[in-house]
Amino acid sequence: PPPPSDSFYAEDYTGTLSLETKKHINAIGYALDQKTHAQVVVVMVATVPDGDLESYANGLFRSRGLGDKEKNNGLLLLVSMKDRKARIEVGYGLEGAMNDAKTGRLLDTFLIPAFKKGDYSGGVHTYDNMVRQVMKEYGLASLDGLSSPAVKEDSGFTMEDFLTPLVLLILLVIDWIFLGGRLTRLILFHLFTGR
């Protein structure tokens, strides 16, 4: 792993993050560290040498000694820009607050959509939500402008998840009422026959 930079909570070896974003991450990370001894760190690299993101993240996490030694409460968000991959590495002390499903949802909800638009600093919402999960774990209500808990990713169920099946159901009902289900049968026929 690269040597630690002077920006402990936001290590960007790609020159991608804006100065404001780095300041924001460092301020929030430092405030959280002071209150809980948990350390939430972002590291951005150009590429992972052997392509093994999981091993690289684990090695980086260990070499930085993230979190309190006793509590093992560190979190690492590793982003490999050229590989177009990201991973959240979680210390054992925070596995209850940040399980695999939750880390995946954070990446899918915040980081990936922002990065697809080229809004790399907008991916900072991933960091904020990682911090909110730690705040929730330690019972902190607020921290330098962030409030807890983050409800959006906790629910695991958004309005979009509800609307898509609802819209399909409405279209099916309309098809059966006004067209006698012809459209539904036609779609099913094409799906099953491949024609």
pLDDT tens for 150-187 read: 433 444 444 444 446 666 778 778 878 888 888 778 87
Give pLDDT, residue 66.
92
Q: Which residues contact 22 (CB under 8 A, 6 or more apart)?
A: 7, 10, 12
* pLDDT tens per residue, range 65-104: 999 989 999 999 999 998 889 999 999 899 988 888 899 9
| Residue written as token pair 């925070």 | 94
Spatial distance between the Cα atoms of 139 and 156, rounded to a whole number of angstroms: 21
Each residue of 2-48: pLDDT tens digit? 666 678 899 999 988 888 889 899 999 999 999 999 999 999 999 99
Name residue, tokens 């607050």. Answer: 97
Determine the Cα–Cα distance for residues 108 and 105; give it in Å rounded to an integer. Answer: 5
pLDDT of residue 157: 45
